[in-house]
Protein backbone atom coordinates (compact mmCIF):
# COMPACT_ATOMS: atom_id res chain seq x y z
CA UNK A 1 0.00 0.00 0.00
CA UNK A 2 1.39 3.37 -1.04
CA UNK A 3 1.63 5.87 1.81
CA UNK A 4 0.77 9.35 0.56
CA UNK A 5 0.16 12.78 2.06
CA UNK A 6 -1.83 14.66 -0.55
CA UNK A 7 -3.74 17.58 0.99
CA UNK A 8 -1.77 17.19 4.25
CA UNK A 9 0.28 20.02 5.74
CA UNK A 10 3.37 19.11 7.73
CA UNK A 11 5.75 21.07 9.97
CA UNK A 12 9.22 19.62 10.48
CA UNK A 13 11.36 21.48 13.00
CA UNK A 14 15.13 21.45 12.75
CA UNK A 15 14.74 20.53 9.08
CA UNK A 16 17.64 22.51 7.67
CA UNK A 17 19.93 19.48 7.73
CA UNK A 18 20.46 15.96 8.99
CA UNK A 19 17.43 13.98 10.08
CA UNK A 20 14.94 16.82 9.72
CA UNK A 21 16.00 17.52 6.16
CA UNK A 22 15.43 13.89 5.17
CA UNK A 23 12.02 13.82 6.88
CA UNK A 24 10.96 17.01 5.12
CA UNK A 25 12.17 15.85 1.70
CA UNK A 26 10.35 12.52 1.96
CA UNK A 27 7.10 14.12 3.14
CA UNK A 28 7.38 16.53 0.22
CA UNK A 29 8.04 13.70 -2.24
CA UNK A 30 4.91 11.97 -0.99
CA UNK A 31 2.64 14.95 -1.55
CA UNK A 32 2.61 16.89 1.71
CA UNK A 33 2.86 20.64 1.83
CA UNK A 34 5.92 21.05 4.03
CA UNK A 35 6.99 23.82 6.38
CA UNK A 36 10.76 23.55 6.74
CA UNK A 37 11.51 25.11 10.10
CA UNK A 38 15.10 25.73 11.14
CA UNK A 39 16.78 28.46 13.15
CA UNK A 40 19.96 27.82 11.19
CA UNK A 41 22.21 27.83 14.25
CA UNK A 42 25.26 25.80 15.22
CA UNK A 43 25.05 22.41 16.95
CA UNK A 44 25.12 24.14 20.33
CA UNK A 45 22.24 26.42 19.32
CA UNK A 46 24.28 29.58 18.79
CA UNK A 47 23.81 31.84 15.78
CA UNK A 48 21.08 31.67 13.19
CA UNK A 49 20.33 31.96 9.47
CA UNK A 50 17.37 31.43 7.16
CA UNK A 51 19.53 29.87 4.44
CA UNK A 52 19.42 26.26 5.68
CA UNK A 53 15.63 26.11 5.82
CA UNK A 54 15.23 27.89 2.49
CA UNK A 55 17.66 25.53 0.77
CA UNK A 56 15.67 22.46 1.85
CA UNK A 57 12.37 24.10 0.92
CA UNK A 58 13.82 24.84 -2.52
CA UNK A 59 14.91 21.20 -2.88
CA UNK A 60 11.32 20.13 -2.26
CA UNK A 61 9.99 22.65 -4.77
CA UNK A 62 12.60 21.67 -7.36
CA UNK A 63 11.40 18.07 -7.05
CA UNK A 64 7.85 19.17 -7.81
CA UNK A 65 6.62 19.51 -4.25
CA UNK A 66 5.26 22.37 -2.18
CA UNK A 67 7.23 23.90 0.67
CA UNK A 68 7.98 27.09 2.55
CA UNK A 69 10.85 27.93 4.87
CA UNK A 70 10.57 29.32 8.38
CA UNK A 71 13.38 30.32 10.74
CA UNK A 72 11.45 30.67 14.00
CA UNK A 73 13.23 29.39 17.09
CA UNK A 74 11.15 26.68 18.76
CA UNK A 75 12.09 28.27 22.09
CA UNK A 76 10.27 31.50 21.15
CA UNK A 77 6.55 30.88 21.67
CA UNK A 78 5.53 34.12 19.94
CA UNK A 79 7.63 33.27 16.88
CA UNK A 80 6.19 29.76 16.79
CA UNK A 81 2.65 31.12 16.99
CA UNK A 82 3.52 33.50 14.16
CA UNK A 83 4.69 30.54 12.07
CA UNK A 84 1.47 28.65 12.77
CA UNK A 85 -0.65 31.71 11.94
CA UNK A 86 1.21 32.09 8.64
CA UNK A 87 0.60 28.44 7.75
CA UNK A 88 -3.10 28.68 8.56
CA UNK A 89 -3.46 31.83 6.46
CA UNK A 90 -1.71 30.13 3.54
CA UNK A 91 -3.01 26.56 3.68
CA UNK A 92 -5.82 26.51 6.26
CA UNK A 93 -4.78 23.40 8.18
CA UNK A 94 -1.90 21.64 9.93
CA UNK A 95 -1.98 17.84 9.95
CA UNK A 96 1.50 16.72 10.89
CA UNK A 97 4.15 17.92 13.32
CA UNK A 98 7.60 16.37 13.55
CA UNK A 99 9.38 17.78 16.60
CA UNK A 100 12.97 17.28 15.51
CA UNK A 101 14.83 20.48 16.47
CA UNK A 102 17.62 19.97 18.96
CA UNK A 103 21.04 21.04 20.20
CA UNK A 104 23.92 19.38 22.04
CA UNK A 105 25.96 20.76 24.93
CA UNK A 106 27.61 17.64 26.27
CA UNK A 107 29.58 17.61 29.52
CA UNK A 108 29.78 15.30 32.47
CA UNK A 109 27.32 16.38 35.15
CA UNK A 110 30.14 17.49 37.47
CA UNK A 111 31.52 19.87 34.84
CA UNK A 112 28.30 21.01 33.18
CA UNK A 113 27.26 24.63 33.59
CA UNK A 114 23.68 25.10 34.75
CA UNK A 115 23.02 27.34 31.73
CA UNK A 116 23.76 24.40 29.44
CA UNK A 117 21.23 22.26 31.29
CA UNK A 118 18.52 24.85 30.73
CA UNK A 119 19.51 25.52 27.09
CA UNK A 120 19.19 21.86 26.09
CA UNK A 121 15.94 21.35 28.01
CA UNK A 122 14.56 24.54 26.45
CA UNK A 123 15.13 23.45 22.86
CA UNK A 124 14.26 19.76 23.02
CA UNK A 125 11.51 19.61 25.64
CA UNK A 126 10.09 23.13 25.89
CA UNK A 127 10.56 23.70 22.16
CA UNK A 128 8.55 20.59 21.35
CA UNK A 129 5.89 21.72 23.82
CA UNK A 130 5.73 25.19 22.24
CA UNK A 131 5.08 23.96 18.71
CA UNK A 132 2.72 21.24 19.89
CA UNK A 133 0.78 23.73 22.00
CA UNK A 134 0.28 26.03 19.01
CA UNK A 135 -0.90 23.29 16.63
CA UNK A 136 -2.96 21.30 19.14
CA UNK A 137 -6.20 23.36 18.96
CA UNK A 138 -6.03 23.24 15.16
CA UNK A 139 -5.73 19.46 15.18
CA UNK A 140 -8.57 19.17 17.70
CA UNK A 141 -10.83 21.36 15.56
CA UNK A 142 -10.14 19.39 12.38
CA UNK A 143 -10.33 16.06 14.25
CA UNK A 144 -6.99 14.92 12.89
CA UNK A 145 -3.33 15.12 13.78
CA UNK A 146 -0.09 13.18 13.73
CA UNK A 147 2.70 14.26 16.09
CA UNK A 148 6.17 12.72 16.26
CA UNK A 149 8.52 13.44 19.16
CA UNK A 150 12.23 12.82 18.67
CA UNK A 151 13.50 10.98 21.72
CA UNK A 152 16.84 9.18 22.06
CA UNK A 153 18.48 6.10 23.49
CA UNK A 154 20.32 8.60 25.70
CA UNK A 155 16.97 9.34 27.33
CA UNK A 156 15.69 5.77 27.32
CA UNK A 157 18.86 4.15 28.65
CA UNK A 158 21.31 6.94 29.55
CA UNK A 159 24.62 7.99 28.03
CA UNK A 160 27.83 9.30 29.54
CA UNK A 161 28.08 13.09 29.41
CA UNK A 162 24.48 13.68 28.35
CA UNK A 163 22.51 14.27 31.55
CA UNK A 164 20.84 17.39 30.09
CA UNK A 165 20.12 15.78 26.73
CA UNK A 166 18.94 12.50 28.28
CA UNK A 167 16.60 14.27 30.69
CA UNK A 168 15.05 16.27 27.85
CA UNK A 169 14.67 13.23 25.63
CA UNK A 170 13.01 11.07 28.28
CA UNK A 171 10.80 14.05 29.15
CA UNK A 172 9.48 13.87 25.59
CA UNK A 173 8.41 10.26 26.21
CA UNK A 174 6.41 11.38 29.24
CA UNK A 175 4.90 14.17 27.16
CA UNK A 176 3.96 11.68 24.44
CA UNK A 177 2.46 9.24 26.93
CA UNK A 178 -0.01 11.85 28.13
CA UNK A 179 -0.85 13.27 24.70
CA UNK A 180 -1.70 9.80 23.40
CA UNK A 181 -4.57 9.65 25.88
CA UNK A 182 -5.70 13.26 25.54
CA UNK A 183 -5.56 13.30 21.75
CA UNK A 184 -7.04 9.91 20.92
CA UNK A 185 -10.68 11.02 20.89
CA UNK A 186 -9.75 13.76 18.41
CA UNK A 187 -7.88 11.33 16.11
CA UNK A 188 -4.58 12.92 17.17
CA UNK A 189 -1.93 10.22 17.47
CA UNK A 190 1.38 11.00 19.15
CA UNK A 191 4.42 8.75 18.80
CA UNK A 192 8.18 8.97 19.21
CA UNK A 193 11.24 8.10 17.16
CA UNK A 194 14.54 7.20 18.81
CA UNK A 195 17.08 7.57 15.99
CA UNK A 196 20.73 6.67 15.80
CA UNK A 197 22.20 8.43 12.79
CA UNK A 198 25.34 10.11 11.55
CA UNK A 199 24.63 13.85 11.52
CA UNK A 200 26.56 16.97 12.42
CA UNK A 201 25.29 16.50 16.00
CA UNK A 202 26.87 13.05 16.29
CA UNK A 203 29.90 13.23 13.98
CA UNK A 204 32.30 14.00 16.85
CA UNK A 205 30.87 11.46 19.30
CA UNK A 206 32.74 8.20 20.06
CA UNK A 207 31.49 5.29 17.98
CA UNK A 208 30.37 7.38 15.01
CA UNK A 209 33.69 7.38 13.18
CA UNK A 210 33.23 6.30 9.56
CA UNK A 211 29.48 5.84 10.01
CA UNK A 212 28.19 8.29 7.39
CA UNK A 213 26.90 5.57 5.06
CA UNK A 214 26.11 2.89 7.64
CA UNK A 215 24.08 5.29 9.80
CA UNK A 216 22.76 7.64 7.13
CA UNK A 217 19.87 9.88 8.32
CA UNK A 218 17.66 8.72 5.46
CA UNK A 219 17.59 5.26 7.07
CA UNK A 220 15.59 6.74 9.97
CA UNK A 221 13.10 8.61 7.81
CA UNK A 222 10.86 5.68 6.72
CA UNK A 223 9.81 5.10 10.33
CA UNK A 224 9.18 8.81 10.94
CA UNK A 225 7.11 9.22 7.79
CA UNK A 226 5.07 6.13 8.67
CA UNK A 227 4.34 7.67 12.10
CA UNK A 228 3.07 10.74 10.23
CA UNK A 229 0.58 8.67 8.23
CA UNK A 230 -3.02 7.57 8.62
CA UNK A 231 -1.67 4.10 9.50
CA UNK A 232 0.30 5.31 12.53
CA UNK A 233 -0.15 3.68 15.94
CA UNK A 234 -0.61 5.81 19.05
CA UNK A 235 1.82 6.23 21.92
CA UNK A 236 4.66 4.02 20.66
CA UNK A 237 8.42 4.45 20.47
CA UNK A 238 10.20 3.20 17.36
CA UNK A 239 13.98 3.00 17.36
CA UNK A 240 15.83 3.27 14.06
CA UNK A 241 19.43 2.28 13.44
CA UNK A 242 20.97 1.83 10.01
CA UNK A 243 17.93 0.10 8.50
CA UNK A 244 16.93 -1.75 11.67
CA UNK A 245 13.62 -0.74 13.26
CA UNK A 246 12.55 -1.92 16.70
CA UNK A 247 10.40 -0.79 19.63
CA UNK A 248 10.96 0.38 23.17
CA UNK A 249 8.48 1.07 25.92
CA UNK A 250 8.13 1.60 29.65
CA UNK A 251 7.07 -1.52 31.57
CA UNK A 252 6.29 -2.47 35.13
CA UNK A 253 6.49 -5.91 36.69
CA UNK A 254 3.92 -7.87 38.67
CA UNK A 255 5.81 -7.18 41.88
CA UNK A 256 4.77 -8.37 45.32
CA UNK A 257 1.91 -7.22 47.55
CA UNK A 258 3.29 -6.70 51.08
CA UNK A 259 0.14 -5.08 52.46
CA UNK A 260 -0.30 -1.80 54.37
CA UNK A 261 1.99 -2.90 57.18
CA UNK A 262 5.07 -3.29 55.00
CA UNK A 263 8.38 -2.37 56.63
CA UNK A 264 11.84 -1.55 55.35
CA UNK A 265 12.85 -5.07 56.31
CA UNK A 266 10.01 -6.49 54.17
CA UNK A 267 11.38 -4.55 51.22
CA UNK A 268 14.86 -5.95 51.91
CA UNK A 269 13.52 -9.51 52.16
CA UNK A 270 11.60 -9.19 48.87
CA UNK A 271 13.86 -6.92 46.85
CA UNK A 272 14.74 -9.58 44.27
CA UNK A 273 11.06 -10.13 43.46
CA UNK A 274 10.37 -6.38 43.44
CA UNK A 275 13.15 -5.81 40.91
CA UNK A 276 12.57 -8.93 38.80
CA UNK A 277 11.27 -7.92 35.38
CA UNK A 278 10.74 -11.49 34.15
CA UNK A 279 6.98 -11.17 34.61
CA UNK A 280 6.08 -7.70 33.41
CA UNK A 281 3.03 -5.78 32.31
CA UNK A 282 3.40 -4.16 28.88
CA UNK A 283 2.41 -0.65 27.96
CA UNK A 284 -0.67 -1.83 26.04
CA UNK A 285 -1.91 -4.03 28.88
CA UNK A 286 -2.51 -1.35 31.47
CA UNK A 287 -4.60 1.76 31.89
CA UNK A 288 -3.18 5.15 32.94
CA UNK A 289 -3.06 6.11 36.57
CA UNK A 290 -5.68 8.59 37.72
Enumerate the active-site residues. Answer: 165
Closest of 14, 8, 48 to residue 145, by C-alpha? 8
Nearest-angstrom CA–CA distance, 44 and 255: 43
Q: Which residues are paired to 189 by β-bridges?
A: 146
**Cβ–Cβ contacts within 10 Å for residue 95, how many?**
22
Burial 235-270 (b: 16+ CB within 10 A, else e): bbbbbbbeeeeeebeeeeeeeeeeeeeeeeeeeeeb
End-to-end CA distance of the chain: 39
**Cβ–Cβ contacts within 10 Å for residue 6, how many?**
8
Asked if residue 28 lies in contact with residue 67, where contact means CB atoms within 8 angstroms, the answer is yes
C-alpha distances in angstroms, 258 versus 198, 202, 262, 279, 281? Answer: 48, 46, 5, 17, 19
C-alpha distances in angstroms, 163 versus 153, 159, 187, 202, 204? Answer: 12, 8, 34, 16, 18
Amino acid sequence: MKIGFENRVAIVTGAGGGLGRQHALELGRRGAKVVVNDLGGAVDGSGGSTSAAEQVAQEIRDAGGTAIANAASVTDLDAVQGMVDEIMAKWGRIDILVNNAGILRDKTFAKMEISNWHAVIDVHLNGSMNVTKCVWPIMVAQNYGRIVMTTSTSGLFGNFGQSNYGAAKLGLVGFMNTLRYEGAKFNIFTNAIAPIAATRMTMDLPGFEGSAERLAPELVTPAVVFLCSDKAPNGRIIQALGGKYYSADVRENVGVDLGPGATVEDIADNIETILDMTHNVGILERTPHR
